[in-house]
Amino acid sequence: MGEYGTVVVWLCSPTHRTNNHNRVIELPRDGLRNTEMYTTIVKLRSPPREYIGLINKGSDLLWVNCNQCDNCPQSNELGFKFNFFDTMSSSTTALIHCSYHICPFEVQGADVRCSPPIKHCRYTYEYQYNSTISGVYVTDKMHFDMILKQPSPSNVNSSATVFFGCCTNLDWGLIETPTTFDGIFGFDPGSLNVVSQLSAREILPSAFSH
């Protein structure tokens, strides 16, 4: 990693005049050496913790590895230990119940179901080459630096509650097992991707660039 110094930025069209179009969030973007893959850092939970997310424009789900994850590597060949999301140690985590209005929504490519008797909203998500992940849906705080463009540019530490997946089972199938990230940050258009979630609450415009 470390080949690229560009950033992922949520931007807006200058023709819009609503308050959320005066706001921009920047996330760091890094490149995986000798590949066409890029990662960013996502800050989740309370207190916040950093997770390395693979940027994926072919899916719309943000997910990170749960501490109960089966088949998830604990560290890479260089000894770098991965961060796992602990639903019990964050003061703001909530597991999505089957009765919650978000649960029936189909995230692109995901099979959503409930798991009695606990009744938590679960998902199974299939990528290419027979790679599959499954887990539970949760909500928690996402922390970010927001740039307010008017009346004068300024940086503000902010946060918002977002909906994402907590992976409990991981099978990369025919894909060589990635060893450089803690989850995947999906940017494909969809009502439940992070950009759409923040836009629906008028925190940000429904657009991004990188």
Tens of each residue's pLDDT in the chain, 210 residues: 444 444 444 434 333 444 545 566 777 677 665 667 788 889 999 999 999 988 888 888 899 999 988 888 887 666 678 899 999 999 999 999 888 877 766 555 567 777 667 688 888 888 876 788 899 999 999 998 777 666 666 677 789 999 999 999 988 765 555 556 899 998 887 777 888 888 888 776 655 555
Domain boundaries, the chain: 7-200
Which among 85, 92, 183 is positioned nearest to 139, based on CA atoms?
A: 92
The Cα–Cα gap between 23 and 96 comes to 29
Pick the closest to residue 96 from 164, 187, 197 (CA basis). Answer: 164
Q: Are 172 and 131 in contact (CB under 8 A)?
A: yes
Beta carbons within 8 Å of 36's beta carbon, 6+ residues apart: none
What's the CA gap between 61 and 64, in Å, rounded? 10
Instruction: Note whether 140 and 44 are within 8 A (CB).
Output: yes
Residue type, 182: D
- In CATH, 7-200 is 2.40.70.10: yes
pTM for the structure as a whole: 0.80
Strand partners, 165: 63, 137
**Distance between CA atoms of 201 and 119, rounded to whole angstroms?**
27
Q: How far apart are CA 147 and CA 156, in angstroms?
A: 6
